[in-house]
């Protein structure tokens, strides 16, 4: 068969090319040789695709797809930012960034719109929940991570982004949108009678100063009759690790908040609380649900382990891993966004997959969404430690009663000691 000759030629070229870039990296040990062979196998595949694919592929695209494939196969939170996405991410970190105002989730490797933000470019252009984002700026998004898709939609306010949208049964269409400023959602608070209600939507550098301001404002408004606080972490998907540590510190006097452990045993970082509780030790209820993830679970876990707060609501998401961003070629080659560590609550438990089990289980009430949890994500990191204890039955609204926010209502009843459950009494320092 004539095809065989190609195989031979390609093989030589492939090995040559791959060996040239890898030989410097390894000694003559056996493991190194295996690694080198594996890299050579990649070089061979790269060569074959370059030379034989139906149309001339871009080398750059091939390698970016390969790195992305390697990362996304590791676990559900590892991904690759190509140079554009990485640049956009840095812009975001620098504060001035814009977007189109969509919330997305992943379905079968595709990015689907979950909701659109009112009066943002996406909703003005008619993008609807259920739409699939097929391509951004002409680049197909199939198989790209959600982080990557979001990063590509973001950019400087006023710049244009082209989004190709697929909607059931009609031909995919392209829209050109102008990015608008995204409000970084800040902490909000209000008085609920004699209880202070504080909602943290995400953890950013502004969260802890905002929390201090909220607590002192609520103290002033409610006065000495203040019964306690409800900290609402529902649907808070996380954010900056340090911000969650600072928030815990505000409620704790001492002890460990969280420890982060990398691959090797000596790679452990422990974060401790410093004296001072900004609430003066008032009772605390933390609300969680299936959308409470990551940095939020660090807060709920620390306050639960220290018996500083009563955790109320439904089972949290279960993301117990920490990702690090590692630029390649000083950022010119994009960056790896990779899981490098797990975190552990003060009692030493990992909440990976198991999530935070509330002290008082209260259902979200009728119409509460079903949350996709860590355990359902493809390639999720496995759980550690003993399996979670079985959860009891949640408190549900009594027939004929309707609540605007059932979990919050139960939290308030709990703080007023009118909630009839066999659960624990309020614990506070």
The catalytic residues are 294, 305, 319
For the bound state, the minimum distance from the C-beta of residue 203 to another protein, rounded and expressed in Å, comes to 21
Distance of closest approach, residue 301 Cβ to another protein, in angstroms: 18
**Coil, strand, or helix at residue 197?**
strand
Task: Kindly tell me which of 30 and 425 has the beta carbon lying closer to another protein.
Answer: 30
Please pick, from the candidates 122, 133, 303, 381, the single residue that binds another protein as defined by CB under 8 A.
381
Question: Quick check: 46 binds another protein (CB under 8 A)?
Answer: yes
Nearer to another protein among residue 49 and residue 368 (C-beta): 49
The interface region with another protein, picked from 190-198, 226-234, 275-283, 318-326 by CB under 8 A, is: 318-326
Choosing from 108, 118, 183, 329, the residue that interacts with another protein (CB under 8 A) is: 329
Q: Between 234 and 337, whose beta carbon lies closer to another protein? A: 337
# residues near another protein by CB under 8 A: 78
CA atoms within 13 A on the CB side of 60: 6
Q: Within a 10 A sphere around the Cβ of 384, how many other Cβ atoms?
A: 14
Q: Pick from 115, 340, 363, 409: which binds another protein (CB under 8 A)?
A: 340
Q: Are the CB atoms for 348 and 257 separated by under 8 Å?
A: no
To the nearest whole angstrom, how small is the minimum distance from the Cβ of residue 81 to another protein? 12
Angle at 186 between CA 207 and CA 162, to 5 degrees: 120
- Letters for 49-88 (x = contact with another protein by CB under 8 A, - = none) are xxxxxxxxx-xxxxx-xxxxxxxxxx---x-x--------
Quote the tokens at residue 59.
């080398």
DSSP classification of residue 186: P
Mode of pairing for the β-strands spanning 284-288 and 310-313: parallel
Are 34 and 114 in contact, with CB atoms under 8 Å apart?
A: no
Tracing tokens 């899981």 back to the chain, one arrives at 339
Least distance to another protein, CB of residue 375, Å = 17
Which residues 345-364 are close enough to bind another protein by CB under 8 A? Answer: none
Q: Binding mask 86-115 vs another protein (x if CB under 8 A, - otherwise)? A: ------------------------------
DSSP 8-state assignment for residue 312: E
Closest distance of CB 353 from another protein, Å: 14
Site string for another protein, 110-139 (x = CB under 8 A): ----------------------x-x-----
10 Å CB burial of residue 31 (0-12, 13-18, 19+) is exposed
Dist CA 202 CA 394 (whole Å) = 26
Residue span binding another protein (CB under 8 A) among the ranges 33-41, 203-211, 232-240, 281-289: 33-41
Q: Which of residues 388-427 bind another protein (CB under 8 A)?
A: none
Subset of residues 209 to 238 that bind another protein, contact rule: CB under 8 A: none
CB of 69 to another protein, least distance (A): 1
Q: Is 385 left (phi over 0), alpha (psi -120 to 50) or beta?
A: left
Nearest approach, Cβ of residue 189 and another protein (Å)? 36
CB under 8 Å, gap of 24 or more: what pairs does 37-42 form? 40/14, 40/15, 42/18, 42/66
Do the Cβ atoms of 417 and 423 come closer than 8 Å?
Answer: no
- 164-193 residues in contact with another protein (CB under 8 A) are 166, 169-172
- Is 59 or 185 the residue whose CB approaches another protein more closely? 59
Asked if residue 35 binds another protein (CB under 8 A), the reply is yes
Range 16-19, long-range pairs (CB < 8 A, 24+ positions): 17/43, 17/46, 17/47, 18/42, 18/43, 18/44, 18/46, 19/43
Cα angle 46, 63, 160 (rounded to 5 degrees) comes to 140
């Amino acid at each position: 068969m004539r095809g065989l000759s190609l195989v031979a030629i390609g093989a030589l070229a492939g090995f040559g090319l791959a060996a040239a870039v890898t030989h410097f990296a390894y000694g003559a040990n056996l493991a190194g040789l295996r690694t080198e062979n594996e890299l050579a196998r990649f070089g061979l595949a790269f060569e074959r695709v370059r030379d034989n694919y139906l149309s001339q592929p871009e080398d750059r695209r091939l390698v970016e797809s390969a790195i992305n494939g390697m990362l996304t196969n590791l676990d559900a939170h590892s991904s690759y930012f190509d140079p554009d996405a990485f640049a956009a991410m840095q812009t975001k970190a620098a504060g001035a960034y814009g977007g189109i105002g969509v919330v997305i989730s992943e379905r079968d490797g595709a990015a689907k719109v979950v909701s659109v933000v009112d009066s943002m470019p996406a909703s003005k252009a008619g993008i609807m929940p259920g739409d699939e984002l097929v391509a951004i700026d002409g680049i197909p998004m199939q198989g790209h991570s959600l982080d990557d898709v979001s990063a590509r939609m973001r950019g400087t306010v006023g710049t244009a982004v082209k989004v190709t949208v697929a909607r059931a049964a009609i031909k995919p269409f392209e829209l050109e949108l102008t990015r608008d400023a995204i409000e970084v959602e800040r902490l909000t608070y209000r008085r609920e009678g004699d209880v202070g209600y504080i909602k943290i939507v995400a953890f950013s550098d502004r969260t802890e100063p905002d929390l201090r301001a909220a607590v002192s404002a609520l103290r002033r408004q409610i006065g000495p009759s203040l019964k306690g606080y409800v900290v609402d972490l529902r649907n808070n998907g996380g954010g900056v690790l340090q911000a969650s540590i600072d928030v815990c510190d505000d409620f704790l006097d001492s002890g460990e908040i969280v420890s982060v452990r990398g691959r090797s045993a000596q790679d452990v970082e422990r974060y401790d609380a410093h004296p001072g509780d900004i609430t003066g030790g008032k009772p605390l209820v933390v609300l969680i649900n299936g959308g409470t993830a990551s940095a939020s679970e660090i807060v709920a876990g620390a306050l639960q382990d220290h018996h500083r707060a009563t955790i109320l609501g439904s089972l949290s998401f279960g993301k117990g891993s920490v990702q690090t961003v590692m630029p390649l070629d000083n950022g010119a080659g994009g960056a790896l966004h990779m899981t490098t560590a797990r975190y552990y609550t003060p009692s030493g438990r990992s909440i990976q997959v198991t999530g935070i089990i509330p002290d008082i289980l209260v259902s979200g009430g009728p119409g509460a969404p079903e949350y996709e949890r860590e355990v359902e994500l493809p390639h999720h990191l496995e759980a550690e430690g003993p399996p979670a204890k079985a959860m009891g039955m949640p408190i549900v609204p009594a027939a004929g009663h309707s609540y605007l926010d059932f979990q919050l209502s139960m939290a308030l009843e709990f703080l007023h000691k009118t909630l009839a459950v066999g659960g624990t009494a309020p614990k506070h320092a």
